[in-house]
Amino acid sequence: MPMVSIIVPCYNEEYTLSICVERILCLKQLNIDLEIIIVDDCSKDKSCEISIQLAEKFAEVRLLKHKINKGKGAAIRTGLLEAKGEYIGIQDADLEYDPMQYGNLLQVICDEKADVVYGSRYLRPSKARKVLYFWHAWMNKTLTSISNMFTNLDLTDMETCYKLFKRELIQTIAPSLKENRFGFEPEITAKIALAGAQVYECAISYNPRTYEEGKKIGWKDGVRALYCIFHYSAHRAPLPMQILLYFFIGLVASLVNVGCFMSLLGVGINTGMAIVAAFVFAASINYLLCITLLFRHKAYWSATGELFVYLLAITIMGLIDYSVTTGLLALGISPFWAKFLPAVIGFAANFALRRWLVFREKA
């Protein structure tokens, strides 16, 4: 059997860490050559001391330490870059997952010649399961569905801890990983999809712990995961999804445009200055949302070049916006509709200019 490296990110898990490692070592019963990498993320309890004892006791265990607390994603990234196994998996130290299930994931990755296997908690329910938090499960499934829309994968459990990677794939991706907390899951899923990897799923069992028992993920991590889905997947998402997301960006920019225009008129600014100022402010909001949620910043141009092309694009759209707005005002249209109509008309042109000119990507 090939060597499998299991990364154990650890933060304040003194009560479960030893049991977790002993359970992972049971994989040796399947003739699996093991490497266990504990990454202590600057624990405040006795986790680090326990890790040192485990490394002294078992030749399979290695300990890596963070001097400051960085988060689960950062701990996983540290382990990924150091792992030596042909296949690399992740094991939380909280006993929610049974490490023996890695035998099934390994079987799938070998038999199907897969690049990645996800262990799904929802693929095939077991005869009995622990009933816990509805909203936590709902959030996981919703984030998985949204991720699938942007990655064009058909996963049932994107947020699962259990992922088994081929080393040559994951170690080419690992240096580019940015997320330090639970945003690791949508980020790695997005980059696996972009790499064109062969992805499989395998049913696993799951015994979730409560927040009273030490569960760390919360609603803020769900919001961050949603941002990560957009930030890491949207620029290569199917065109309908890009248009839908840009509709949101364009809607926000349009509302800012109209609101700013009406506000400036209300404080006595002349019409021409109000049109220009409102458009420039809305264009700035549009640019920031584009590089935050939809397109890749500096994907084709340098920062200066991208800004220059963006200014050129908004100059063209600004002239159109100014001409149409003043023309409608001259026809007696109310200021609101005179501003709103050209903003709506410019949506398609704005998306096209940003998608294929300003934020174009290298082949």
Task: Give, as one character, the DSSP assignment of residue 82.
Answer: H
Supply the CATH classification number for the domain 3-234. Answer: 3.90.550.10
- Residues 162 and 118 sit within 8 Å (Cβ to Cβ): yes
Task: Give, as one character, the DSSP assignment of residue 176.
Answer: G
**pLDDT value for 100:** 94
**pLDDT value for 137:** 80
Task: Give, as one character, the DSSP assignment of residue 215.
Answer: -
CA dihedral of residues 329, 332, 336, 342 (deg, nearest 10): -50
Question: What tens-digit pLDDT sequence spans the chain (363 residues)?
Answer: 789 999 999 999 999 999 999 999 999 999 999 999 999 999 999 999 999 999 999 999 999 999 999 999 999 999 999 999 999 999 999 888 999 999 999 999 999 999 999 999 888 755 566 666 777 788 889 999 999 999 999 999 999 999 999 999 999 999 999 999 889 999 999 999 999 999 999 999 887 765 555 566 677 888 999 999 999 999 999 999 999 999 999 889 889 999 999 999 999 899 889 988 998 899 899 999 999 999 999 999 999 999 999 999 988 888 888 898 899 999 999 988 888 888 777 788 889 999 999 999 987
Model pTM score: 0.84
User: Environment class of residue 360 by beta-carbon count within 10 Å: exposed (0-12), middle (13-18) or buried (19+)?
Assistant: middle
Q: Which residue has the tokens 């099934």?
A: 104
**pLDDT value for 2:** 84
Boundaries of every domain in the chain: 3-234, 239-358
